[in-house]
A and B are shown apart, each in its own frame.
Chain A
Amino acid sequence: MEKERILEVKDLRISFRTQQGILKAVRGINFELFKGETLAIVGESGSGKSVTSRAIMGISAGNSIHEGGSIYYYNSGIKSFHQVEDSEHAEEEDIIDLMKIDEEHFHKLRGTKISMIFQDPMSSLNPIMKIGKQVSEALYLKLGLSKSEAKVRAIELMNDVGISEPEKRFYQYPFQFSGGMIQRMVIAIALANNAEILICDEPTTALDVTIQAQILELINKKKTERNLSIIFITHDLGVVANMADRVAVMYAGKIVEVGTVDEIFYNPKHPYTWALLSAIPDLDSKETLFAIPGTPPDLHFPPAGDAFAPRNKYAMQIDFEEEPPMFKISETHYAATWLLHPDAPKVEMPSNLKNRIERNLKKARKGA
């Protein structure tokens, strides 16, 4: 069955005006999001993952510059005057370019179609407003429910995300909740209006492992219940392995590798993905960890060629001169590295990583 496309990001470029000059945060990225799947975006801080997600939500910072590219939203069900001009059948196909529509139209999408969960649960709720009011606010402002209806629905929602005694909790303030419970509340609010796309911006980074596992289970449950499409942003590869159907690896404002979760974890091709995977220990690792030397490039002056080249021991001359295109490995798996060029020398992934992947695959086969 052909998967239904819901979001497409095309050659998106976003920069920021800063005191040091123009900072090129996102430098031309392409990806698609299908209905009912989880796309994880992985990368270190400053790689542009949050900037991308904020652009999709339409909440980019004031000093951002949209340099080009579009974000197409398919079948929104909302008629808009700002449909895609270059598509012939825009009217029938119902495509919106999120980078072009104005705030008034975005209002109809934000919260009802696209929702977001932020990293720090403590600061994403209003500390001087009762929890119940914050949940039902979303309901009566967006769906036009009466306040009493909204309250009934809000208590249902709280029950739904696993808050015990929702009637009592309805009248409490955020400081009376623990971090994990607040994150549950934030999820309840984000899903209050039956959003189709949920953007999770490092939702568990501030939480403990056990609480993190609970929240991830909750998100996964909601995803299957409602056939949600999720964009999951994180730098924790363990969490990615748990959540994602597909993974996009970002480095210095570009996607360097994209593929299904099995392809990325069991058959990675880009040296940066290798480095990321071998930089974290798993429970069986005993050998010295591979440390990526150096630091990420300053995006005020984006380097010519492959941005990862200065930290990459496999880098060739061409990596410093010309940007690598996306090479196709399989239908779903692409990577931007010159190593995949037919003329490039054959380079194997680091042996540590190879051993680990083989170990994991063996376990997987045994289990299956």
Chain B
Amino acid sequence: MEKLLEVKHLKQYFKAGSGKRKLFVKAVDDISFDIYKGEVFGMVGESGCGKTTTGRSIIKLYDATDGEVYFGGKRIGGGIASMIETIKAAKVKAAKEIVGYQPAKLAKAQIIQEAEAQLAQIDPKDIEHVQIVKREKAQKMADLKAKIQADPTKFADNQAEIDKIKAELRTLINVERNKITALKKDNAFRGETLETMKKIQMIFQDPISSLNPRMTVREIIAEGLVVSGVKDRKYIDERVSHFLRVVGLLPEHAFRYPHEFSGGQRQRIGIARALIVEPELLIADEPISALDVSIRAQVINLLKNLQKEYNLTIMFIAHDLSVVKYFSDRIAVMYYGHMVELASSELLFRHPLHQYTKSLLSAIPLPDPHYEKTRKRFTYNPACHNYSATNKPSFVEIEPGHWIMASPSEIEQFKVEMAQSDKDFFEKLTEK
């Protein structure tokens, strides 16, 4: 299958606080996945787990901290944090190496270090002691100076080696800087990136606040075309009424304002606005959460029909698992900024492996009283993994198309589990 969107090691951190209390909220922390052409990619997780942030980073409503996003093979966004880190680390390493080739500087640094170690042990209020240490330090320095003056060749810097290290550092920094410039160029809303970005559109959760109350429906829907430079009024009108009809509204509605519509109709306007620039990828961020039960089915059916009709690829973000299961081909489960499991919806429901996925699946409310009243719920405890330095989790493909965040020891355990549940499943099938 053709990859449409590729996300590689995407990180999105937010700064919180300032000064000493400054900290980074790791909303999305190193996730990688692909979305194939024509599929519906579901994303679930509890609120605050970073699923919406992922969607918004892809469409570049946020500037990604690190990682890369490719659309149709072309890089459209990314972050520069890792390159800056590399440069910093290289500079520190080079500085350390250079000191090794400067005997005079090294000797001085040693004396200062020794004195500081001594001072650290002494109570700073004990002035007499401090004075003694300082005097000793000054004496040693004077001795060293005398030595250097006596034999300058022995203490001369090894300039050739130093230049070599500096040159190496310079080339490395240049390589990284070039990477940064290339990324910044790709990141900017200009040229090719701008053209590519038009192929990604988004539908938002709240149909009330995502439409400007002072614009008519025609203005809202046409804005995408106007911004991309279409000036032909007749053409715009034609497109607007076409897409109004596509989403199940009437062309007459174009001259009304958003407040004149019900929630479901407003969500349709949002969908029409996204469709008018003919996107290939639609990011639907909880499009039905704010809608009433009887209206939800209308919007789900509409999205499903549109997906078939326009061969759209949809990234469907939601927390309602039964809807995600109904709608998606593949499902990714997120937990605290990490992707913990990614599988086709059939596989995920047949044998969920990660503890968190299991707890999530066991909590879905279903309209079946018998099931509900006998349900056993499974609680997730993040401490159950026993992760350690040698038993670190990584995101691995445990069977074709089934990715999971697990440590090596867990993978062994999961494989046994998987074989067992598959056996049960096929036994049930043959029984029928």
Contact = CB atoms under 8 A, between A and B. Distances in A.
Given A210-B363, A280-B297, A280-B322, A242 B372 contact: yes
A241 B293 contact: no
B232 interface: no
B235 interface: no
Given A210-B360, A265-B368, A291 B301 contact: yes
A368 B371 CA distance: 11
A94 interface: no
A281 B323 contact: yes
Contact of A210 (B46, B262, B264, B326): B46
Nearest to A263: B369
A128 interface: no
Given A281-B325, A283-B322, A289-B301, A241 B369 contact: yes
B307 interface: no
B368 A209 contact: no
Nearest to B374: A367
Given A210-B46, A288-B304, A295-B264, A363 B298 contact: no
Interface stretch (A15-23, A49-57, A143-151, A231-239): A231-239
A209 B319 contact: yes
A283 B292 CA distance: 20
Contacts of B262: 295
A363 B365 contact: no
5 contacts: A210-B363, A237-B367, A262-B369, A280-B322, A286-B326
Interface string B327-343: 10000000000000000
B196 interface: no
B47 interface: yes
A282 B322 CA distance: 5
B319 A208 contact: yes
Interface string B36-72: 0000000000110000000000000000000000000
B255 interface: no
B321 A292 contact: no
B363 A212 contact: yes
Contacts of A288: 301, 304
B269 to A, nearest CB: 15
Size category of the binding interface on chain A:
35 or more
A265 B373 CA distance: 13
Residue among B322, B368, B370, B373 with the highest chain A CB neighbour number at 10 A: B368
B366 A241 contact: yes
A164 interface: no
Interface residues of B, number: 43
Nearest to A296: B294
Interface in A191-226: 208-213, 217
Contacts of B24: none
A280 B367 contact: yes
B366 A282 contact: yes
A7 B33 CA distance: 55
Dominant SS at the B interface? helix
Given A209-B321, A275-B294, A283-B325, A241 B367 contact: yes
A242 B9 CA distance: 40
A44 interface: yes
A45 to B, nearest CB: 6
Contacts of A266: 369
B380 interface: yes
A279 interface: yes
A364 B295 CA distance: 30
Interface string B270-303: 0000000000000000000000111111101100
A220 B379 CA distance: 18
B374 to A, nearest CB: 6
A265 B325 contact: no
A34 interface: no
B250 to A, nearest CB: 14
Report the 10 A-B pairs with minimum CB-CB distance, sorted nearest first. Answer: A238-B365, A281-B326, A364-B370, A242-B372, A279-B297, A291-B297, A237-B367, A291-B298, A213-B363, A241-B372
A367 B372 CA distance: 12
Given A283-B366, A295-B262, A290 B297 contact: yes
B377 A239 contact: no
Interface in B347-400: 349, 359-360, 362-375, 377, 379-380
A134 to B, nearest CB: 24
A135 interface: no
Q: Which of A277, A279, A285 has the most CB of B within 10 A?
A: A279
A295 B379 CA distance: 39
Contacts of B295: 44, 292, 295
A277 B365 contact: no
